Amino acid sequence: MMLEANGIHTFYGAAQVLHGVDFRVGKGETVALMGRNGMGKSTLVKSLLGIVRPRQGTVRVGGHDVGALDTHAIIRRGIAYVPEGRGMFHNLTVREHLVMAARPGAGGRADWSYDRVLRTFPRLAERLDNLGTHLSGGEQQMLAIGRALMTNPDLLILDEATEGLAPLVRREIWRVIRAIKETGIASIIVDKNVGVLLDLADRNIILVKGKVVYDGGPDTLKAQPEILERHIGL
């Protein structure tokens, strides 16, 4: 198992956001995290990475309990995180964003080189000397994903990767995510684009008010659309 969380209870002050969430991602598996706004999807991701500390529950990465580790140490266990909002640095160029993040993955694996990332996102190659914040929304998202790939991750977490993007750019991002999946990198995808997630994900998890109400394959959701209608409103 790549990542496993059990009984996660997370609070913001006195407000409980996650109520005993169990979550797992297998090696090479693509898991879609679905739910309406405010149901705890991003909080679950932040809880897995130690950005928000769960009050109860365990998180294991590669079988090791990471509950006591800082975020950077959890990330170093083979995870790449593309946050909501893309997380650009206004003092770094495209090239600097990519070079800064570069490191080998587990066992010295270096499948994703600088050149390969630029081949995957040719638009970035045209803007290497532009500051990250001077790119369009779509280009920033490509850079955020490219930067994540430069760490040669085993697990890629994408939080609202296509939010606010034009349909054409969104299609391009989904194409790349599919290509990443084919390379065997596991991923957790948080997104509102249910149609694409049903096609792309190996497993879908639906969160409602901080609880997992569905954890299963996309075929069941396609066969029983009332589940989506009830929990997501589609």
Partner 1 sequence: MTGTVPRRLAVVLVVLLVALALFPLWGKAVFAAKYAFLLQKLTGIMIVAIMAMSLDLLVGVAGLVSLGHAAFFGLGGYMLALNSPQYEAANLWLVLPQTLAAVAVAALVVGFLSIRTSGIYFIMVTLAFGQMGFYFFNDSKLAGGSDGAYIYVKPKVEAFGAILVDLDHKLSFFYVVLGVLVGVYALLRVLLASPFGRVVGAIGINENRVQGLGFNPMAYKLVAFTIAGTVAGLAGFLAATQYGFVSPAMLSWHHSGDVLVMVILGGMGTLFGPVLGAFILELARYGLEAVTDHWLLPMGAMVIAIVLLLPKGVAGLLLQWCRKREGSDD
| Region for residue 57 given its phi and psi (left: phi exceeds 0; alpha: psi -120 to 50; beta: otherwise) | left
CB of 75 to partner 1, least distance (A): 4
CB of 57 to partner 1, least distance (A): 21
Cβ–Cβ under 8 Å, residues 103 and 152: yes
CB of 227 to partner 1, least distance (A): 32
H/E stretch holding 47:
helix 41-48
What letter would DSSP give residue 93? Answer: B
Partners of 9 in the β-ladder: 19, 56
What span, in angstroms and rounded, lies between the C-alpha atoms of 160 and 203?
17
> Which residue in the set 1, 27, 64, 70 belongs to the binding site for partner 1 (CB under 8 A)?
70
What letter would DSSP give residue 201? Answer: -
Cα 161 to chain centroid distance, Å, stands at 8
Q: Does 146 participate in binding partner 1 (rule CB under 8 A)?
A: no
> Which residue in the set 9, 36, 76, 123 belongs to the binding site for partner 1 (CB under 8 A)?
76
How many residues make contact with partner 1 (CB under 8 A)? Answer: 27
Q: Does 69 participate in binding partner 1 (rule CB under 8 A)?
A: no
Residue among 6 and 71 whose Cβ is closer to partner 1: 71
Cα distances (Å, whole numbers) of residue 220 to 61, 211, 233: 28, 19, 17
Of 19-27, 91-99, 117-125, 175-183, the segment contacting partner 1 by CB under 8 A is: 91-99
Of 26-34, 92-100, 108-116, 173-181, the segment contacting partner 1 by CB under 8 A is: 92-100
- Cβ–Cβ contacts within 10 Å for residue 41, how many? 24
> Which residue in the set 11, 20, 36, 51 belongs to the binding site for partner 1 (CB under 8 A)?
51
CB of 90 to partner 1, least distance (A): 6
Terminal-to-terminal C-alpha distance of the chain: 32
**Which positions touch partner 1 (CB under 8 A)?**
49, 51, 70-73, 75-76, 79-81, 83, 87, 89-93, 96, 99-103, 131, 147, 151
